[in-house]
Each structure stands twice: as C-alpha cells, then as structure tokens.
Amino acid sequence: MNRLDQHRILVTGAGSGIGQATALRLLEEGGAVVAADVSSEGLARTRGSAKEAGTDERLTLLDMNVGDESSVVSGVREAVDGLGGLDALVNAAGILRASHTHETSAEMWEQVIGINLTGTFFVVREALPALLQNESGVVVNFSSTSAAFGHPYMAAYAASKGGIQSFTHALALEYGKQGLRAVCVAPGSVKSGITDATQGYVPADADWSLFAKLSPILPTALESGGAGMGGPAQVAGVIAMLVSDDGAFISGTEIRIDGGTHA
C-alpha cells in the first residue's frame, strides 16, 4: 500500500518505540521520512530496520533534542530543506518520570513538561510555516490515556499529556480554515521503552493495586512489567491513516489506542 507517495513527513522520537515503528510504517507506505531523535544509536537502529525493509532510500536521520529550542529551530529547518517542504509532522518524542507528587522536585516537573509539552510546542511552531504552504498539512501529537484517566505517581507526565491534548485542539481550530489538521493519539498499554522502564521509576513503596484499572481487555501478545501490552506497530498503523487522505476529515480530537483498557 503506497497511500503516502509524495508525502514528506517529520517524525520525532523516531529512535525507539512507537516513534520508530511509526517512521518505519510511513516509509513502508511510500512516504519520505526525516527521523529525528536525541539518540544517534537509536536512529542507527531505525536505519538498519529500514534497510532490511528496502525503504532506507527515503529515510533521513536527524539528531535533534526537542527540549532544546535552538536544536529544534535548526533541526526543523534542516528537515524541511532536505525534504523540499513538509506535509505532515508526528511528535512522538517524550519521556516519563514517576514519583509521589509530594516528593516531585521542581527539576523533575520542569524536565517532563519541558520535553513533552514545551518540546511539542517548539517543533509544531517551527514546522507550521512549511505545513501551511500545503492545502492539507497534518500534525499528529502524542497524548496519553493518562491525560483523561488516573495514572498514579505520574502527575507531571499526565499534566504534560493533558496540555498536549488542549494544545492540539487549539491548533485544529486556529488553522483549520487553512487546511491544517491537528490530531492527538492517546496510547495506553502499548509496549515501548517508556513502559519497560516504568517499574524502575515508580516509587519503591508504590501501591500497585492502583494500577489495576490499567490493563487492556483485548488479548495481547506482549507484556511489559508483567502487564499485557499492545505493540508499537498497532499505534503506527493508526498514525499512517491519520497522515494519509484516509484521515482527511479527522481533526481536533483524540484517538485512544489502548486495547479497551478504559472501555
């Protein structure tokens, strides 16, 4: 399926997890992709997977730190110049830190908000001029089920994802008449580097019964921390739809991808 032929796409967080799976899926469907990440090693693995799939000729790697404004300004410019324009942006970069809220330091709070929320803003702001040159540009931002449902010990993360969700609604309304679509995906119970590390972040005295409502109801083939999980490729497939013409009438909303966890 080549529904993304002639599509020029920037994907952040493309060195691992859902971001990596998304970059590979967009390449598979014919897109030209700039894969951005702070990890050069992760990007090298993304290239290796694309090479195995025979799609690496349409892949460009970009070292970019979304939490650093100057890195984003220069990085997005490089991506747009290299692609000759921009049709879609996928903001998958993000981090998770966990602690008791009353023990959360200002430094931790600002780190999570700075990378997840402010980083998403930086990339969108820099990409908008190029996206608005098209009649149908697309922004896909990453929220989380934590934005709408309680996730214990993750107040900073949940706040950042709720902010991204609200930010995306504002984008959709502000730029809709110019043809821009802005959508959030809200993954939950999806295996990634973040979920694999969660158990190490959660406080040692955590009440694990509080996580009882965070398990998917659909059968899963993967697990992380002993919990059933979906795969990153299942999120990537939804994103491919959203940035293609199949998603042409979807904007200003969230799509929850969690195996029915919050049914």
Q: Which of 153, 157, 175, 201 is catalytic?
A: 157
CA dihedral of 128, 132, 134, 140, whole degrees rounded to 10: 40
Instruction: Give me the residues paired with residue 227 across strands.
Output: 224
Q: Which of 259, 189, 188, 185 is nearest to 224 (CA)?
A: 189
> Mind giving me the DSSP string for 199-261?
HHHS-TT--GGGGGGGS-SS--SEEETTEEEB-HHHHHHHHHHHHSGGGTT--SEEEEESTTT
Q: Do β-strands 227-229 and 253-257 pair in parallel, antiparallel, or remain unpaired?
A: unpaired
Dihedral over Cα of 220, 189, 207, 95: its sign: positive
d(CA 160, CA 146) in angstroms, rounded, equals 10
Residue that the structure tokens 């940035």 belong to: 243
Q: Please give the single-letter amino acid code of residue 104.
A: T
The Cα–Cα gap between 35 and 39 comes to 11
Whether 157 sits among the annotated catalytic residues: the reply is yes
- Rounded distance between C-alpha atoms, residue 127 and residue 107, angstroms: 28
Calculate helix-pair angle for 155-175, 119-131, nearest 10 degrees.
20
Q: Which residues are identified as catalytic? A: 157
